Structure formats: structure tokens, C-alpha cells
Structure 1
Amino acid sequence: MEERARKKEIIKKMMRNPRGRGEQHQQHVELIPGLPDDVAVDCLARVPHASHRALRCVCRGWRHAAAAPCFASARSAAGAMEDLVFMLQFGNPSADDGPKDDDAPNNTPAYGVAVYNVTTGEWHRENRGAPQPVPVFAQCAAVGSRVAVLGGWDPRTFEPVSDVHVLDASTGSWRRGASMRSARSFFACAEAGGKIYVAGGHDKHKNALKTAEAYDPVADAWDPLPDMSEERDECDGMATVAGDRFLAVSGYRTARQGGFERDAEWFDPASREWRRLERVRAPPSAAHVVVKGKVWCIEGEAMMEWMGMRKGWREVGPYPPGLKAGTARAVCVGGGDKVVVTGALDGEGGGGRHALWVFDVKTKNWTVVKPPPEFAGFVFSVASLRI
């Protein structure tokens, strides 16, 4: 009964006047002639995400329904949610990626947004409305249905930028976001508590940074944070515990180029203070990911979980088969049910191509996904969302 009442409320919200131009009454919109409202909503909710752009073009009612915030609830109730992995990826030199930007330097590889649908196995590029060109070494992070592309290098000047571009994955539309307060690259970046945190990295003079800030994609505003205790260039970023705390792992100071530290700092939003964690970092080439509040890393010969400073690391699963060491990026999907890892194929047979590995947290099994050649380039940053 409770589920039925919730479904009726979803339908009621979706049936409201799509014009929304100040009318004092609400006009019923028949989504599919001859079908009850609940059946029509079920039909629309089950349309694959790849077809949502076409769905919104059918009529005003369908466009309004697909854009309504409650449409995600309808898809969830119908069991039609899909897990998408967004990758900021260099083009694969062995593949024909099509025409290149004439203004870009010849030695600059193509860099763009690739999307892998974990649920359906489909691949595509987010080209329509995306920033052109995408800053090289830009990072990405996701909040709700939004994916933000932040910072990186201008591919023409190779200087860091403060640019922010935001994709609403539910509508496929891009917008220019408020710029970061500091231009930076190679910084820690992750979503935590509904905000996107950035910390560390380096400026245009290659000086390591300890500054940090947090972005609210709904308000399109940045919040300057207190400085970390240390400079942290090339540090990892992730959310921890309940998902409301941001963790900046390792990195190195300006004076110690490439000398990665084994500590970390996490930001407490309640006290607005940074707190240090000693000896957290696995080897510098490890890829870190948070799975149901626990910090995992992919390194050496296994998947490992951080048990705290006293207990250190413990093995929780096998190493991705055929993954070249030191090339991994990782992201959690499906609410913690799976971990997706990107990286280079090991051995001479890899040919410089990259692939994906999907880890089932329950069965501890890996599935290797070899993408089409045009999606087999190096992935610098990765984010995921469920839609």
C-alpha cells in the first residue's frame, strides 16, 4: 500500500500542467492516449537512457515528464535505473577518431568525455554541447544527475585553467559553471555530501598547492575552504564513511617532486577543519576507491581495504586480470555493488590499448570489458552516477 501511494504521488506530479506559466489550476496531460496514467508512467520510465533525448522531442507532455525531478523515482520504482561511468579520456592513437580540431597543436592528443553504460554495455561520447576543446587533464565528479568537468590544462597554452562545465545527464544539456577560485591541475577531486571538493594540485608555475574549495552544482557557487596542512600535488580524492567527508590522499610537496607521501587529510564539514591520517597511502601507483564507506585500493596482487592505522590493509579480492600495474583509475557503481576499474592491458598483446574491469563486490569476481577501439585510450579521471 505504501509503495502504491508513493507511485500515485509520482504520477500526480508528472501529470501537472507542463507549461507552468502561472496558471492557477493544474491541467491533466494524457501521456499515452487510451492508457491509464500509471501504465503510461511505467512505459516512459522503462525507456532506456540512451533514448531520452528522442523521448523528450515527442511531445510537450513527454518532455515535461522526463524533465520532472520525480522521473528518477519513477524509473527506480520500475527497476529501470542505469549505471553510467563517465571518463575523461585521451584518444586511442591506433583508432580513427575522426577529424581533429584544426587549432589544436599536432602533438596534443584528443581529450574528451566518454561514457560507458554498465547496465546495457553501450558506449558513446558526450559531444553535443560539451566544452570544445575539453581542457587536457581536466577532472570529473558527479552529484545526483550532474557531472562536472573541472580544471586541467588549456590544450593550446598548456597552462592550468579554472574552468567548470556541468552536464545534466538527465537532459543531456551542458552549461558553463562558476569558475574555480584558483586555476589548478592534477588535484584531488571527488563528491562528498552533495558537493564537489577540489584540493591540492599545482599552479602554472608547477608549485604544489594546499588550497581547497567546494562546489555546489545546484547553487553554482564555490566555498573557499581552509588550507590543508601540507602541499599535495597529484593527490587522490574520495568521499569517506557516510559519504559526507572528503579525503585527500598522498601527493607530494614542491620541494619533493615525485616523492609521494603516505599520509592523508580529511575535511570535516561540521568543524571546517582538516584532520591528518598517517600511513594511509598504499604504494604511489595504487588506485583508490571508496566502497560502502571503506577505502579500497588496487595495487600489487590484490584488491585491499584500509582497516585503520593499527591494522593497515587487508585483502578483499583478487587483482584485475591483465591490468598493467600503475595505470588504474577506479570508481564505485550500483550503490557499492560493483567497482569499475580502467587501465592499460598488460603484456605485448595489449598494444597500448586500455580496457575496463568490473568487480562484483558480492562474488569477488572480475569481468573484463574490452571497449571498441575508439574508446580504448588512457583514462585520466572517472566518475559515475545512477540515472
Structure 2
Amino acid sequence: MERQSEVREEKRSRTGKRRLSSSSSSSGTSSNANVDVEMATATLSVPKEPSRSYSRTPRRSNHKKKKGVKKDAAAAAAAQRSISGGEGAEPSAVEPSPSPEANRGVNPPVVDASESSTRADVPDGAIVPGNEGATVAGSPREADAPLIPGLSDTLALYILALVPLSYHQPLKGVCRKWRRFLSSSTGTGNEVLEMRKVLGVKETWVFLLASGGQQRHPQWRAFDPVFNRWRCLPQCPCDYTFDSCDKESAVAGTQLLVTGHSATGPTVWRYDLHTNEWGKAAKMIKNRCLFASASHGNYAYFAGGSADGAVLKSAERYNSHTEEWEPLPDLHVNRKWCSGCILDNKFFVIGGQGSERQSLTSGEYYDEAEKRWVTVENMWPAARTQSPGQTAPPLVAVVKDQLYAADASTMELNSYHKGTNTWRPLGPVPSRSVDSSGWGMGFKAVRNEIFVIGGSSDRGNGTFCDQIHAWPPSPNVGGWREVGQLPNTSGFIYNCAVMII
């Protein structure tokens, strides 16, 4: 009998079954039954961690396993009834294993492996590198996702229009939709740029090409006068001939135009502030240098100049929307070494040298409505004391439709009275340019101030200062203030252009 009991106990320990007989009268057998019940109760009381599968592979059937669990539960219930007094006893506190239907609810849904790799810490609508075609579960498709979650695209457009253009390039790296939105164009231009016009948002940048200082070659830089910060433009991919030649610059929309001569002939390079990239622009209708130029919105105007030793009277303008050149009527007089400006929404050409190398005191402006040029006699009397070619073209700037000029021979600031066609002196400018005959100094209107950039130093020994001074034309303002310093330059300004966008 003892041998048979040992065999039964060994069999029950392997299979987990507990078959107890209520008719056993042996005290040793009853004690062993109590121990078996406690073991079965402890075993069934520990919950099993539900298995988690993240593969599309069908799960294997666990029918046999569930069947064994049900038998274990039945054996435990029978053992508990035998201890508590027979068939009518209350069921034990041990809960049976969940049914197959309940098990199906516990298991997580099957997820594709490639999809599950995109779930961790990825916001809705974001792009996962290497899995651009996939979308995060529960999020809309990228094409239908809003620009900014929780906001309408119209409100998001307002917000993006307030961001400075210099930050647009890094913003394009947020997602593909932002990149397409910030780079896309409509019939009249980019949506963000058009919204900036509607909201009246204006941004000013001063582009400078100055002598290199410690650098071997000069580099284009942009200056933000509002936040007093500088940024270096990408290196222009031009050849050595263009890099070392005399260049002239103008602005149209968000584009900086730089004209000069490369190894293949006259060339125009274009830098776009919106894309932060250089590219070749279409060639001018008439290749020219030493011309007058001015910027007005999306247009850059050019007139006069020289080509192949001849003084020109032709004029044209560049349209930044179409990136094409448009011809304008000819000037009344052939001019080179002249200057241009926008005054009362008209393109003015002032002074210069004629075909007979005579100094020109007259000026002309282009009437857009009548498509013709109108002559203004004796508009630049300083030409009588300044020989074109030996002195720089007139240093002119327009602030609030008021024309100002710096006399290179005396370095005095003068204001122009449109009604009487006369000039009135206002006092000296902070930097000299007498030693270099007006060359090497930037004289520009920036926002509502006149900027004097670089120029000769006060020592008068051929050195140049690396400072920027500004003066707001107002009777209540005393003198010039220092805005900042030119970084890594000796102070000689080759080219200077102002962009207001």
C-alpha cells in the first residue's frame, strides 16, 4: 500500500492532477492530500503574464493547454470540496483560468513589425526616416494633417508669416509638408510671402561685400539691423574671373542680383534669401556696367552704363516673380557713372558722365503710367565740382520719400527739396571718403534711417574704419549713432544692397 501511494504521488506531481479519495482512512494519506491541495491552490493563484505578439504570424492553437488548465481547476475544486465536507460544500476562493474568449480579449492586436518600429516616441503625422510612406496608427495621412496640430491652416499661415525669413530654411526640415508649403509658389509667388504683405510684415537685410581682412577672399554677409546680428551667405559657386572682377549689385524681391564678368562673358548670379541658395539668373537684355540701379518691390531697375567702350541710354528691369528681364524705353541722354533711386514710386537716374565725357547735372525719372522718361534739369549741381570716373557715382539715399546725398568732395550730408529743385546742407557725415574719392563707403537708406557703412578713417592715411553709423532724419535727433562693427573686414565696401521684404 505504501508503495502504491508513493507511485500515485509521483504521478500526481508530474501531471498536476489531484485525485483524492474521500474514503481514505489513513491519517498519513489525509495529511498528504492537504499538502497537495495547498500546492494546487498556490499554483492556480499566481496569474500568468499574457503573451504579447507583434507579428502577423498566426498564433498556434493552445487548445490542449487550455484543456489541461480546465482539468487542473476541476481537480482543485474537487479537492477543496473533499476538505470542506463533500459535494454540497461552497466553491473555493480560487478562480479558474479565463475562458478562451476572455483570453482573446487579453492579447494585444497584431501589429506589423515595420509599423511597430515607428510607434515609440513618434508624434502623430511625423515622418519616420526610411519609412516615409507609413503613417502612425491613429493619425491622419500626412497630406490631410494640419500644418500645426490643433490649428487651422489659415491660422498656421498667419503664424509662419511672422517668422523671419532667415529661419525658413531650418523650418523646412520639420517635415515634408512644411518643406512643400514654405517652398511652393502660387501664381503671384509663395503663400507665406504673400501673407507677409497682407499682414504688413517687413524685414530688412543689408547685404555687404567688403574687403577680406584676415580672409583671403571677400565674402558676402547679411546684416540684420533690428537684432544687430550678422550671417554669412553661402559661397557663390562662381569662377575665379567673376570672383575677382568689379561687381555691381541690386535687389528684387527676395533675390540679390550680382552682375559681373566670368570666363564665359557677362554673368548675373542670384542669391535667394528664402531658399538660402545661389543660382545663375538670366542674362541682361543689354550687358552693361557702371549703370544706375534701384530696387522697388519685386523689380530691380537698371539704366545707362557702358558696354564695349560705348555709353548706353537703354534701360530694363528684372522681375523676380518671372525671373525674366523686361525692356524699358531709352533714356534721353547717354549716361554712365550715374546713380539710381526710387523717389515717389518713380525710378530716378541722377548725374553721371555723357558720351563726350562731360559731367551731367541733370536727372531723369521713369513715368510708369505714361511709359516714358521725364528730364529734371540741374538736379545734381555737385557734378560741376566732381569729375565722373575720378569720384564715385553720386551717393544717394531716400528716406520717407525724401532724397539725401553725401558730397564726396566735402563729405557733407545734403537734402533735396523737390519743389524748388535745390539742395540744403545738413552737416558732415561721421566717416570720411575724401581720400578715396567716395569709393569704398556704403551710403544707404535702411528702414527710416540713413546708414554710413565703412569709409575712410579719421586719420586720413588710407585706412578704413569698420563701423556702421546711422542717423534718422529728424529735427529732434542730435547726431549720428554707432550701430555696430563690420566683422573680419578692413572696412572697404565693394558692394552694398538693401532688401526690404
Q: For the superposition of Structure 1 and Structure 2, which TM-score range results when normalised by the shorter chain?
A: 0.7 to 0.9
Counterpart contact for 1:143–1:191, Cα < 8 Å: yes
Distance 2:328 2:285 in 1: 11
Distance 1:201 1:338, change over 3 A: same
Residues 112 and 211 of structure 1, relative CA distance in 2, 3 Å threshold: farther
Measured at CA, do residues 282 and 112 of structure 1 come closer, stay the same or move farther in structure 2, by a change above 3 Å? Answer: farther
| Matched letter for residue 211 of structure 2 | G
Q: Give the structure 2 partner of residue 107 of structure 1.
A: none
Q: TM-score normalized by structure 1?
A: 0.74
- 1:67 matched residue in structure 2: 183
Counterpart of 1:367 in structure 2 is: 481
Q: 2:442 aligns with which of 329, 334, 343?
A: 329
Select the residue among 423, 426, 432 that pairs with 1:313.
Answer: 423
Deviations 1:63-83 (A, max 9, x none): 244336343466689997532
Distance 1:247 1:76, change over 3 A: closer
What is the deviation of 1:209?
1.9
Structure 1 position 292 matched with structure 2 position 375? no
1:127 aligns with 2:231: no
Q: For the Cα contact (< 8 Å) 2:219–2:235, is it kept in 1?
A: no
1:238 has 2:341 as partner: yes
Q: Distance in 1 between matches of 2:273 and 2:197?
A: 16
CA offsets 1:288-309 (integer angstroms, 9 cap, x no match): 1122223211234643221137
Letter paired with 1:273: R
State the Cα deviation string for residues 226-249 of structure 1 (Å, max 9, x = none). Answer: 3222221111011121x2x21111
In the TM superposition, what whole-angstrom CA distance separates every residue of 1:51-100 from its partner, at most 9, and x where no partner exists? 4322222222332443363434666899975320112x2423xx2215xx
- 1:276 corresponds to 2:375: yes
Which structure's relative contact order is higher, taking Cα pairs within 8 Å and 6+ residues apart? 1
| Distance change in 2, residues 1:214/1:364 (3 Å) | farther
Assess if the C-alpha contact under 8 Å between 2:432 and 2:458 holds in 1.
no
In 2, distance between residues paired with 1:173 and 1:369? 28
Does residue 82 (structure 1) correspond to residue 203 (structure 2)? The answer is yes
CA distance in 2, matches of 1:140, 1:379: 12
**More strand by proportion, 1 or 2?**
1
3-state secondary structure, aligned to 1:142: strand
1:7-55 deviations in Å (ceiling 9; x for gaps): xxxxxxxxxxxxxxxxxx9944344557787886676556554443222
Correspondent of 2:319 among 197, 216, 224? 216
Of the candidates 162, 169, 184, which is equivalent to residue 53 of structure 1?
169
User: Is residue 269–residue 278 contact of structure 2 (8 Å, CA) maintained in 1?
Assistant: yes
Contact 2:454 2:464 in 1 (8 A): no
User: Given the superposition, is the C-alpha separation of residues 117 and 323 from structure 1 closer, same or farther in structure 2, using an over 3 Å criterion?
Assistant: farther
Which residue, 452, 455, 465 being the options, matches 1:341? 452
User: Tell me, what secondary structure is at the counterpart of 2:335?
Assistant: coil
Classify the secondary structure of the residue corresponding to 2:179. Answer: helix
What is the distance in 1 between the residues matched to 2:169 and 2:257?
Answer: 20
Structure in which a larger fraction of residues adopt helix: 2
**Residues 192-201 or 128-137, more deviating:** 128-137
Confirm or deny that 1:249 pairs with 2:350.
yes
Of 263, 276, 279, which aligns to 1:175? 279
1:66 alignment partner, SS class? helix
- 2: CA distance between counterparts of 1:212 and 1:48? 34
Alpha-carbon deviation of 1:201? 1.5
Distance 2:274 2:400 in 1: 25
In structure 2, C-alpha distance between the alignment counterparts of 1:282 and 1:355, rounded to whole Å:
30
- Distance in 2, matches of 1:191 and 1:253, equals 24
Give the distance between the partners of 2:164 and 2:297, measured in 1 at CA. 28
The match for 2:107 is none
Cα distance, 1:383–1:364 mapped onto 2, change above 3 Å: farther
Could you tell me which residue of structure 1 aligns to residue 498 of structure 2? Answer: 384
The alignment of Structure 1 onto Structure 2 pairs a total of residues equal to 338
Identity %: 25
Quote the residue 2:224 is aligned against. 117
Give the letter aligned to residue 305 of structure 1.
Answer: S
Does the 8 A contact of 1:303 with 1:319 survive in 2? Answer: yes
Deviation readout 1:103-134 (Å, 9 max, x if unpaired): xxxxxxx4543211111212233224554454
Query: CA 1:255–1:49 in structure 2 vs 1: closer, same or farther (change >3 Å)?
Result: same
Task: Give 2:211's match in structure 1, choosing from 91, 103, 108.
Answer: 91
Q: Partner amino acid for 2:374?
A: R
Relative to structure 1, the CA distance from residue 372 to residue 355 in structure 2 (aligned partners, 3 Å threshold; closer, same or farther) is closer
Match of 1:147 in 2: 256
Alpha-carbon distance in structure 1 between the residues aligned to 2:417 and 2:397:
14
Q: Supply the AA of the counterpart residue of 1:198.
A: F
Distance 2:269 2:338 in 1: 22
AA partner of residue 471 (structure 2): F
Change (3 A) 1:266 1:111: farther
Stretches of structure 1 that go unaligned for 5 or more consecutive residues are 1-24, 99-109
Matching residue's letter, 2:400: K
Alpha carbons of structure 1 residues 36 and 304: separation in structure 2 relative to 1, 3 Å: same
Normalising by structure 2, what TM-score? 0.59
Task: Give the alignment of 1:13-52 within 5 angstroms.
Answer: 27-32=143-148, 47-52=163-168
Question: Partner amino acid for 2:428?
Answer: Y
Decide whether aligned partners of structure 1 residues 191 and 39 sit closer, same or farther in structure 2, where only a CA change above 3 A counts. Answer: closer
Q: Matches of 1:76 and 1:230 in 2, distance apart?
A: 37
Q: Distance in 1 between matches of 2:469 and 2:478?
A: 12
Structure 1 residue 324, shift from structure 2 partner: 2.9
Between the aligned partners of 2:210 and 2:194, the Cα distance in structure 1 is: 35
